[in-house]
Amino acid sequence: MKKKKEKKIYEKEQFLAILLVIAGIIIIFNQIQISAISSALNSNGGNIGTGSESPLKMSGGKMASLEGIDITSITSTPMAVATIFPELQNMKNQDEIMNFMIPTGTPEYSQKLGGISFDDPINSMTYLSKLFPSLLQDIKNSDPTTFQRYLSLAAKPRGVSCEYCCGLGATGASPDGQSMCGCQHNPALLGLTLGLMKNTDYSDAQVLREVMKWKTMFFPKNMVEVAMQVAGSDPSQLKDLPGMVGGC
């Protein structure tokens, strides 16, 4: 009896040790992904910033006004990128497009959303994904106008989704606002959408633009490829970028 008990304890310790090793591997992998993005930016003249940024800025500087932009006609992520990033029409250079699309630094709404930062995408994603359920419930119950705004973005094919890791397509939320995927990327983008609608005076187009910035942080290679296609550049020549930051 004693030997059986000791054996069970030993097996349990072995199992815990294996879990710790797996967790360590995941952490290392995510750090490698982030380093790859930083290296790609630095090699192309980008700077990883730590100061505050305007909501109208990415790595490429001041962005175009989205006043009057109607997002209701958007039916895919490429269409969303083309609509909210009109600057791409004047870009053909791969490095310029990559530096423009991958944001750095801390957005002005950071403190209203738990201190999220483009320079720390994994912890930011974790925070936003955990924020999503309570924020959805709160807005659904107390603010029907904002809830309908949210559905017009997230429950329609505007690109507010984790389509590049889970094959979800361009729609990330169900008709009742729930996440259509259990990974962290999808609820993080949905939480961001709700958080911006609740805590800023951004228009729907501006909210969608911020979502696309974070989607680029989560899926650098796919989103830069989309931007290159929109700009009329050849995405097959794209330099190495991580396909995904963070795990599903």
Of 4-13, 116-125, 143-152, the least confident: 4-13
Contact in structure between 231 and 191 (CB atoms under 8 Å): no
Angle, helix 204-218 to helix 121-142, in steps of 10 degrees:
150
Q: How large is the angle between the packed helices 77-84 and 220-231, nearest 10 degrees?
A: 60
Question: What SS3 class is residue 93?
Answer: coil
pTM, entire model? 0.77
CA 113 – CA 244 distance, rounded (Å) = 22
pLDDT number for residue 67: 87
- pLDDT confidence of 153, banded at 50, 70, 90? very high
Whole-number pLDDT of residue 27 = 46
Read off the pLDDT band of 238 (50, 70, 90). confident
Pick the more confident residue, 179 or 45: 179
Tokens matching residue 145: 């106008």
Q: Tell me the mean pLDDT in the region 24-44.
A: 47
Each residue's pLDDT tens digit, 167-220: 899 999 999 999 999 999 999 999 999 999 999 999 999 999 999 999 999 999
Residue type, 131: L
**Residue 114 φ/ψ, nearest 5 degrees:** 75, 15
Q: What percent of the chain shows pLDDT beyond 70?
A: 74
Q: What is the pLDDT of residues 214-232, one digit of tens each?
A: 999 999 999 999 999 999 9
**CA–CA separation, 191 and 90 (whole Å):** 32
Q: In sequence order, which residues have a C-beta less than 8 Å from that of residue 195 and are 6 or more positions away?
A: 109, 112, 113, 128, 131, 135
Per-residue pLDDT band for 150 (boundaries 50, 70, 90) equals very high
Give the pLDDT score at 166: 86
- The total of other beta-carbon atoms located within 10 Å of residue 108's CB is 13
pLDDT at 46 over 50: no
Across 95-99, 134-138, 176-180, 242-246, least confident range = 242-246
Per-residue confidence (pLDDT) for residue 193, from 0 to 100: 98
Q: Which of 10-24, 75-89, 173-187, 204-218 has the lowest mean pLDDT?
A: 10-24
Element (H, E) at 215: helix 204-218
Q: How far apart are CA 174 and CA 164, in angstroms?
A: 18
At residue 61 the predicted structure's pLDDT band, cuts being 50, 70 and 90, is very low
Distances in Å between the alpha carbon of 38 and those of 15, 32, 34, 45, 160?
35, 10, 6, 11, 24
Torsion of CA 128, 134, 140, 144, to 10 degrees: -60
pLDDT at 4: 53
